[in-house]
Amino acid sequence: MNIKIADLEFEPLISGEAIQARTKEIAAQLNEEYADKAPIFVGVLNGCFMFMADLVKRINVPCEVAFTKLSSYHGGVTTTRRISDDFDLLVDIANRHVILVEDIVDTGHTLDYLVAKLSHRKPASITVCALLLKPDAIEYSIKELKHIAFRIPNEFVVGYGLDYMELGRNLDGIYKRVV
Ligand code: 5GP
């Protein structure tokens, strides 16, 4: 069923059930890969909050959870190159295995910036786990981007943590803009 958020119309793209099934698969891979590594999951707010919660619920190896906040979109439907560092990561990640949890990678500009920034703190490793990737939009080669739940068309999406004008984050699935 199509929905309206503020002035835009959206149609279903990925169901809540499909997200849960895929999250389960990714968690199973991480449980194997990080069995003896006591990883720190670092969520990139605000968009990651649902994915982060559903993912870490399925992690059964010892792990820590922390957050940082960046913004680059500022409410519209097209990405900007301006990144604001709203809330720095407060835990010490030196010699630790970091799993960065992102909602969506569009051009990759934000993720490239964040990986470079965290690398300066000398973690043992950084792996990125992203809910969504727009393969037709990405402009950076980010070797740390290893786990991608869904590849989607280069269109504006909301739901499951992602917003339009701060609305729609509460939706159970992902919806794409009807153009
Ligand atoms: P990038 O720097 O990769 O171009 O953009 C990344 C950020 O832009 C994401 O973390 C997210 O905040 C925002 N973004 C990119 N595409 C979308 C989209 O389709 N929907 C929403 N709601 N945000 C997006």
Query: pLDDT digits over 121-144, tens only?
Result: 999 999 999 999 999 999 999 999
Mean pLDDT, range 84-108, rounded to an integer = 93
- Torsional class of 160: left (φ above 0), alpha (ψ -120 to 50), beta (otherwise): left
**Would residue 6 count as lying in a domain?**
no
Asked if residue 103 has its Cβ within 6 Å of ligand 1, the reply is yes
| Distance (Å, whole) CA 86 – CA 22 | 30
Cβ of 123 less than 6 Å from ligand 1: no
Q: How many structural domains is the chain composed of?
A: 1
Catalytic residues: 106
Assigned domain for 12 exists: no
Q: ω into residue 46 within 30 of 0, thus cis?
A: yes
Give the model's pLDDT for residue 86. Answer: 80
The answer to the question of residue 148 being in a domain is: yes
pLDDT tier, 71 (very low <50, low <70, confident <90, very high otherwise): confident
Structure letter (DSSP) for residue 156: -
Residue 90 lies in a domain: yes
From ligand 1's centre to the CA of 165, what distance in Å? Answer: 13
How close is the Cα of 73 to the center of ligand 1, in Å?
6
Chain position carrying tokens 């000398």: 122
Residue 73 reports pLDDT greater than 80 = no
In a domain, 10, yes or no: no
> Is 4 a domain residue?
no
- The Å distance, Cα 79 to ligand 1 centre, comes to 6
46 Cβ closer than 6 Å to some ligand 1 atom: no
Residue 5, domain member (yes or no): no
Instruction: Please tell me the residue having the least CA distance from ligand 1 atom 16.
Output: 106
What is the model's pLDDT at position 77?
Answer: 66
Residue 85 has a pLDDT of: 81
The answer to whether residue 138 is domain-embedded is yes
Tell me the C-alpha distance between 135 and 106, whole Å: 8
**Of how many residues is the chain composed?**
179
Indicate left, alpha or beta for 165 from its phi (over 0: left) and psi (-120 to 50: alpha): left
Closest CA to 140 of 131, 128, 125: 128
Is 34 a residue whose pLDDT tops 60? yes
Question: Where residue 112 sits, what CATH number does that domain have?
Answer: 3.40.50.2020
Domain range holding 106? Answer: 19-169
**41 contacts 67 by C-beta, under 8 angstroms:** no
Phi, psi (rounded to 5 degrees) for 65: -130, 130
Residue 110 exposed, middle or buried by CB count within 10 Å (0-12, 13-18, 19+) = buried
Instruction: Please tell me whether the overall predicted TM-score, pTM, comes out greater than 0.75 for this model.
Output: yes
Cβ–ligand 1 contact at 72 (below 6 Å): yes
Q: Which atom of ligand 1 is nearest to the CA of 71?
A: 12
